[in-house]
Structure formats: C-alpha cells, structure tokens
Amino acid sequence: MDQDDGLTAVDNIVTQFNTYEDFLDSQITTVDLFYLEDEGLARQLVELGYRGTGEVVKREDFESRKAAIEIARLAERTQKKTLTSAGKNLQENFLKALAVREEDNRNGKVSEVDAAHTLKKQLSVIFIRDRNSHGQEISGYIDYAHRLKSEDFEVYFTGKKRLLPRSTDLSFYNWDSQVAVWNSTPNYQVIADNPEGLLFKYKRDRKILNVDPKALPGDNSTRIPIQTELYIQAVIFDHVSRRKT
C-alpha cells in the first residue's frame, strides 16, 4: 500500500468514528471479549496490531488526521460563507450600491494603510424615504452593518422585499402619524438633541456624522445620493474610521 492509499484508509476510518476508542471497539469481536474478559486489554491488543478485523491505525495517526480533517472542514465552511449579493445579476442602482458595500459592513473588514500603520474600517448609514404598505410616508437612517447581522438580506437582493427603515433602526419617522424614534446601535451613538438636526457619533473613532444635506457630512465621511426607482429618496453615507496600531 502506498502513502496515498494509506492516508485514504486512515481518512475513511477517521470520518467513520468519532473517537479512537470507537474505532478500537469496532475491531473487537465477541470471541475476543469471551477469551480476554477485559475490554481495556482487548483495545490495547487491537492498538498494537495483535487483534482486530481490519486496518491497523496508531492513536497519534488517528488523532492528527481527525484534527486535520476538522480544520479543513471549518475552512471550507468559512469559504462557503459567501456574500448575500454574490452571484446575483443586480440591475437596480440602490441594490448595486448595497452589494458594493456588503463585505465591508458585514465582515467589519479592516485593512492596514500607509507607513504610519493606521487601520481603516468602512461602515455605512443608509437613508431611505418612501411609503410603507399602508401608504404612509416614512423615512429613517439604517445602520447597514447592524441590519446585516440581524437579518437575512437575501429577500432584498432578490427583489422579493424592499429594505425599509424600522422603529428599531438608528432613526425612524412616520410623516403621517408623526411618530419619531431614535436608537443607538453597536456602531453609532444617536445625538438627537442637537438644535441643528440629527447627528450620529461613530463609536470606533468618535467622529460625528452630520446627515443634514446642507452641511458637510464630517471627517472621513461622504454623502452619496442614489438615483433609484425603488424609493422616493435614498442616500448612503460612508465613513472610514482610522486608528493607529
């Protein structure tokens, strides 16, 4: 038997049995137990190759291959965690904009830039104004990263549902009932008592995002209006936080 065949045989055994003891027990016959009258001794004899009905596998080989297969399985599962927008032929501008930003917001992607060893991370706030299912005009600001972690965006990227602000988002306003709600999230602190309008403070770098369309959005932030047929109005605010290592 060559090395590849040996590894294949061990892999088959490792995937079939949860523990090395389970494998040893599978090699022990009722006749062995009748004559030896000791399960522990029977296991030792199988491990040494004196008893058994199949392949001889050393404990260290079994455990090392078990660990290697588990590592490979976890790595494969991680790789399969593709983005929700991946592979979809998106035609709508708003959905395209969300897709471009999904990886950064979903995975909290951090990259090192410049010689000063500064770490940067991009997060996005989405503003939407439209009508709900009751025909009422609503608007609000959505923490994109937080919503990605709390719900499945498959229904949005496939067009089955439209992303709309909720009363649990950063802000929500119903223009008909005049109900207004604000909520801080893991990424942003809401500053609602500002006389000039609503502000969001990034918790990572403590920079302020000003969502007033007549004002600058703030340090390291950009305001991008999205031309879309899905909503009355849609705007995405991107912020890149920088932190020295």
Residue with the bigger pLDDT between 27 and 207: it is 207
Residue 22, pLDDT score: 73
Angle 184-185-189 from CA coordinates, rounded to 5°: 45
Of the candidates 198, 194, 193, the one whose C-alpha atom is nearest the C-alpha of residue 165 is 198
Q: Return d(Cα 116, Cα 131) in angstroms, integer.
A: 47
What residue has token string 């058994």? 52
Q: Which 3-state string (H, E, C) describes 206-219? A: CCEEECCCCCCCCC
Rama region for 91: left / alpha / beta (φ>0; ψ in -120 to 50; rest): alpha
| Alpha helices, H only, the chain | 3-16, 20-27, 30-36, 39-48, 59-79, 93-107, 144-150, 154-157
Residue with the bigger pLDDT between 227 and 112: it is 227
Of the candidates 225, 172, 232, the one whose C-alpha atom is nearest the C-alpha of residue 217 is 225
Least confident of 8-12, 66-70, 79-83, 232-236: 79-83
In the chain, count H helices and then E strands. 8, 10
% of the chain beyond a pLDDT of 70: 72
Averaged confidence pLDDT in the chain: 81
The pTM of this model reads 0.65
Residues 64/72, Cβ–Cβ less than 8 Å: no
Reply yes or no on whether the pLDDT at 53 is more than 90: no
CB under 8 Å to 168, separation ≥6 — which residues? 183
List the domain boundaries for the chain.
Answer: 9-78, 93-243
Angle 94-200-132 from CA coordinates, rounded to 5°: 45
Residue 19, pLDDT score: 80
Q: How confident is the model at residue 4 (pLDDT cuts 50, 70, 90)?
A: very low
Residues 205/193, Cβ–Cβ less than 8 Å: no
Residues 28/51, Cβ–Cβ less than 8 Å: yes
- The 10s digit of each residue's pLDDT in 84-132 is 999 899 999 999 999 999 999 987 655 544 444 456 788 999 999 999 9
- The 10s digit of each residue's pLDDT in 142-199 is 999 999 999 999 999 999 999 999 999 999 999 999 999 999 999 999 999 888 889 9
Which helix (H) or strand (E) element contains residue 186? none
3-state secondary structure at position 244: strand
Q: How confident is the model at residue 137 (pLDDT cuts 50, 70, 90)?
A: very high
Residue 64, pLDDT score: 79
Q: Return d(Cα 66, Cα 221) in angstroms, integer.
A: 48
